[in-house]
Structure 1
């Protein structure tokens, strides 16, 4: 998580959306490393993405750390085609190990472009296919190659800023709006 935190460059006062975040366990863990963050935890699964589950995840982290986490967390239920997040609001939009699961890639990328502030960053942390046709072990869906992912984003109004390699198969892609 520390390497992700460093790659994301989160700062006090940042307003962050995390799409496909379930109950926000990862996001709340990130917030434990930096005070003053606001997270909109978004998912399409109403059973994991709700106020009760987010509060449970926060309480879990606080028990583990033995201290309160200074952050604000909102659960937002979306659909496969809409985030239901407010426009021009976010300094950063995170998609952590979920991009390969999107059913409507171009629609969601348009949504992300709309919800980011003009100088906001889209950060995608994703397992990358090392061989053609490789699938994600957890969900069984196809993975993107690095080239496929970058080309898709660049064709949809984003420009690659940088790539941070966590492992040979796991990378953090940081994009800006064109």
Structure 2
């Protein structure tokens, strides 16, 4: 009888632990992310068949601000084609040094632009530059790996320039952006064209239009424009789809 009571006691302790472990295993199976041995410059984290790249740190600021960038990418043309009015509320997600932020700010003198960054060094730089340039409409904003921390239903246009492929949690980030957009809000991705092997950018830092559309469609966005006017990048305009 003592042995039987001991066995029952042990099983009573072990079975809840097994159930808990099984539940945790199920949660992992339900995750949208898979893992593998990392590729060169990759994290080994897979979302919808795409390996997420490493993030370029703020140490790369000089590359963002390089003199040749306009000639190489046609930044002015990209900014011109953003669907903005003078009063638009905009979010530059992954603003970096503000290369796009401050150019967009010139187009929205009566609006505002949230310059979203996760790196404190970048946020401090953005704050100094907006004061130097006199852009009161620029609002440096601390984001996280899962959210840009923007107000709900407030954004007309959000955009990411060579950023989306680096998002650690793309599903969570897209859902948060979706929530921050107005009912007719748009999300624009500018990404180096993954379909073109001649573009001298690391493979994981490029995206195909098909892959981008697949990922955004799964998170409540519809592709409404595939601009082909940039030299080496996609200009993909996505419309928020109502919940």
The answer on 1:113 being equivalent to 2:173 is no
Matching of residue 172 in structure 1 with residue 235 in structure 2: yes
Give TM-score, length-normalised by structure 2: 0.62
Q: Does 1:24 align with 2:87?
A: no
2:224 is aligned with 1:150: no
Q: Which runs of 5+ in 2 are unaligned?
A: 1-74
Q: Aligned in 2, Cα 1:108/1:96: closer, same or farther, shift over 3 Å?
A: same
Where does residue 226 of structure 2 map in the other structure? 163
Higher strand share: 1
Q: What is the root-mean-square deviation of aligned Cα atoms in Å?
A: 2.2
Tell me whether 1:83 sits opposite 2:142 in the alignment: no
Larger CA Rg, structure 1 vs 2: 2
Selected match of 2:84 from 3, 7, 10: 10
Q: Which residue of 1 aligns with 2:204?
A: 141
**Contact 2:84–2:107 under 8 Å retained in 1:** no
Which protein has greater RCO, CA pairs closer than 8 Å, 6+ apart?
Answer: 1
Aligned to 2:138: 73
Question: Distance in 1 between the 2:229 and 2:212 partners?
Answer: 16
1:57 paired residue among 129, 135, 138 = 129
CA contact (8 A) 1:25 1:58 kept: no
Give the deviation of 1:167 after TM superposition: 3.3
* Separation of aligned partners in 2, 1:102 and 1:166: 25
| Segment of structure 1 superposing worse, 24-33 or 38-47 | 24-33
Equivalent of 2:159 in 94, 112, 129:
94
Correspondent of 1:125 among 190, 193, 203: 190
Asked whether the 8 Å contact 2:162–2:205 carries over to 1, the reply is no
Higher deviation after alignment, 92-101 or 166-175: 166-175
Structure 1: 4+ residue segments shifted above 6 A:
none
